[in-house]
Amino acid sequence: MPTCQNCDSFVTEGYVRVFAPEGMDDPRVCPHCEDLVRDGSQVREARATRH
């Protein structure tokens, strides 16, 4: 079962297929990670809140 590397939340295999880099089984961040976003090959803190 794939999980987020940051918060350990469950993510679907479809989410992994689309958002995780090729060859990785778990994404680095997910929609549950309110403080982090993907930025190219890096992960950074969000500049604005999502609420």
Identify the pLDDT of residue 49.
64
Number of domains comprising the chain: 1
Identify the pLDDT of residue 2.
94
Ranges of residues in the chain with a pLDDT under 70 are: 46-51
Query: How far is 42 from 51, CA to CA, in rounded Å?
Result: 23
DSSP states of 1-51 as a string? --B-TTT--B--HHHHHHHSPTT-SS-S--TT-TTEEEETTEEEE-SS---
Query: How far is 41 from 20, CA to CA, in rounded Å?
Result: 10
- Domain that residue 41 falls in: 1-50
Identify the pLDDT of residue 12.
93
Identify the pLDDT of residue 10.
94
